Amino acid sequence: MVPKLYIIEASPPARAVIVTAAAVGVQLDIIVVEMDYLYTDEFLKLNPQHTIPLLIDEDKIICDSHVIVTYLIKKYAKDDLLYPSSLSKRVLVDQRLYYDASIMFPILKKAFDGFRSKKFKEIPSDIKITAIEVYDIFEKHLTKTEWLAGDHITVADISCYMSIKSLNVLIPYDSKKYAKIALWAKKLNDVPYLSADEPYFKIFIEYHKMVTS
């Protein structure tokens, strides 16, 4: 059975799963839902946290994109390059993934949801300050190595890139000040399987225009 993936098309964490599946070469049955559906009894039975992405693979129901991407790699990838088995390498990948899960994506979600719910029309300064801190931290991470967690691309780059690329639409970074981030983004854009994100990123941009107009 092909694993089922519930998504909202514009969602950065859902897009990280789609890109990872493309990288690994696993086919997914993608089920596109609307935000309201996440609060229905039907979906809440699958995920009481009412979030997408959500993956159903055989008897397993998995939520949180960071868990889904590492699961897909461990189960379906031909090698361990995207999520290294070596403890010293993996610990760095995990650090970046947890940073995305706990700091980076939540700030993007707060900004986006603020527009969507009409809580604000301009991004509040506390959100801007955190976004700048994120850019500062990433610029430093990328000073030592070309990729976020070592000398080759890993799933940390994929997940974090979906957040940074989307955050950049709401709070653009200065590509001169953050030259390492700009170079990293360019290199990621040239990775063939990243093209799986193109249609979804376009939807993100349209959705952003809609909520901010």
Ligand X SMILES: N[C@@H](CCC(=O)N[C@@H](CS)C(=O)NCC(=O)O)C(=O)O
Task: Enumerate binding residues for ligand X (CB under 6 A).
Answer: 8, 11, 13, 38, 50-53, 64-66, 101, 105, 109
* Min separation Cβ 59 and ligand X, Å: 20
* Min separation Cβ 12 and ligand X, Å: 6
Round to whole Å and give the CA distance between 11 and 140. Answer: 27
Between 109 and 128, CB nearer to ligand X: 109
Between 65 and 168, CB nearer to ligand X: 65
Between 127 and 178, CB nearer to ligand X: 127
Between 162 and 178, CB nearer to ligand X: 162
* Min separation Cβ 92 and ligand X, Å: 19
Between 66 and 90, CB nearer to ligand X: 66
Cβ–Cβ < 8 Å for 112, 88 = no
Backbone angles phi, psi at 6, to 5 degrees: -85, 130
* Min separation Cβ 175 and ligand X, Å: 25
Which residues does 134 contact at the CB level (< 8 Å), separation at least 6?
Answer: 103, 104, 107, 164, 167
- Record the tokens describing residue 102, joined without a space: 């706990």
- Record the tokens describing residue 109, joined without a space: 């979600």
* Min separation Cβ 167 and ligand X, Å: 12
* Burial 133-149, CB ≥16 within 10 A → b, else e: ebbeebbebbeeeebbb
Strand partners of residue 5: 30, 55
Between 158 and 178, CB nearer to ligand X: 158
* Min separation Cβ 179 and ligand X, Å: 28
